[in-house]
Amino acid sequence: MRLKDKVAIITGSANGIGLEAARRFAGEGASVVMADFDKEKGKERERELQKDGYDVIFIQVNVADRSSVDSLMDRVKEEFGRIDILVNNAGITRDAMLSKMTVEQFQQVIDVNLTGVFHCAQAVLPAMKEQAKGKIINTSSVTGTYGNVGQTNYAAAKAGLIGMTKTWAKELGRKGINVNAVAPGFTETGMVAEVPEKVIDQMVGQVPMQRLGRPEDIANAYLYLASDESDYVNGHVLHVDGGIMM
């Protein structure tokens, strides 16, 4: 049990990578708070995982709204008395070429994917400082490292997360709080499912391992960074991308 008696908050966990991470963390002994904007799907996933014997609860949150985030943290602290792990997994896309991207499309992605991470990390700090220990894991992307056509907003947010991760690692390491990031490559999620098959074939062709990532590949990276095994890992960006960044 690598996370026995730990309390973990995973944002964006009603689907995809976040859902798999919730299942993986709970299976390793953690009490998991599934935080997501989609209340209907979140409650459905909560029931499914609880039926399978996992210690999970769902709490609705809008990470782009600071009052919503503060309410989430207060509820978790009241319910469990501590917060050991925060996985900032929530994210959205609003793809468009630069010439056609609206201000609203740009800002929506920045609000959720970048500012939302700031809100969650800052709001969780009091609990982690009180414990003198904690793990914050931010979800970046290979897109934040090398860019991607049609994703000005997404690339900007994910690149910004790398800078924030390294800054927070320097600020918080002395407090006993590790801050790291995971940078997934092309992964089989709901977002990718909407991509035309021809484009997916092109994506796979760029990956040395000749396959897309699976949610469990990313969840396993989260698990390592959340566990005590990574206590001396700080400020690192772990690429889980099949080698595409080589």
The catalytic residues are 154
* DSSP codes joined into one string, 218-244: HHHHHHHHHSGGGTT--S-EEEESTTT
SS3 86: strand
CB count within 10 Å of CB 163 equals 12
d(CA 9, CA 7): 7
Q: List the 85-88 sheet strands across, edge first.
A: 56-60, 31-36, 7-11, 85-88, 134-139, 177-184, 237-240
